Amino acid sequence: MNPPSTSHLVLIPSYNPGPEVVKTVANALSHWTPVWVVVDGSTDESTALLQAMEGLHAGLRVIVMQRNQGKGAAVLQGISMAASSGFTHALTMDADGQHPPDLIAQFMATSIAHPAAMVLGKPVFGPEAPALRVNGRKVSNAWAHLETLWAGIGDSLYGFRVYPIAPLRRVMQSNPFMRRFDFDPEAVVRLAWQGIQPINLDAPVRYLSTEEGGVSHFKYLRDNTLLTWMHTRLFFGFLLRLPLLLRRKLDARR
């Protein structure tokens, strides 16, 4: 294991992930340090499990939010504290074991080589992936392509990605949205509007069964309604930025 990074950290927002979070965090620590976990008002046993781990691993920090505010709010809390500690980039990954910890080092190396870019995971689904989830994300991706004039976002929803902290923090602090399930797609669209270039890397995604410890907080009607409202407001934002996006696209072709 290399010495702890002073610029790039792994940031894991966590809400009632169950005991699987211990394995997720341990796997992340085996590939990178530091690892920060933001507990988003969890009410299960995971907070105590994580705090016990924190006492055993110098590279682990556990930040506890007293009430559930949403994934985006947890990420904002984490990146704000990371920026205050001098970090410039954060790799976000889910706490439920869906994301590939063995690719952390590759994503970090790509980010270090291209610090102005956002490094986005492009999901590779296994046969266990629910068809409804796989096909449903195509709609969000199509909207993201349109809203950015095909800026090159490989997948708008996959949360395994490296963000440059400063522009992400500015974008989040400038509007009241991006605090819940809408965080991942809105973040990449708004960063693309700011001229942050995406680099897409394939990354497998696992959907764990209940027997394997899998936990899902996805609510089909609630979360798709949230995504619909998000893309509605992003589309109007896109129309306002269309001249800038067109000029940027033309400049890139010259």
Structural domains present in the chain: 8-253 (3.90.550.10)
Q: List the end-to-end C-alpha distance of the chain, in Å, as a whole number.
A: 44
User: What pLDDT band is residue 216 in, cutting at 50, 70 and 90?
Assistant: low
Mean pLDDT of 66-88: 97
Calculate what percentage of the chain has a pLDDT beyond 90. Answer: 77
Q: What is the pTM of this model?
A: 0.91
pLDDT at 217 over 80: no
**Mean pLDDT lowest among 41-55, 213-227, 238-252:** 213-227
Of 22, 26, 29, 39, give the one whose Cα is nearest residue 2: 29
Please, what's the largest Cα pairwise distance for the chain?
56
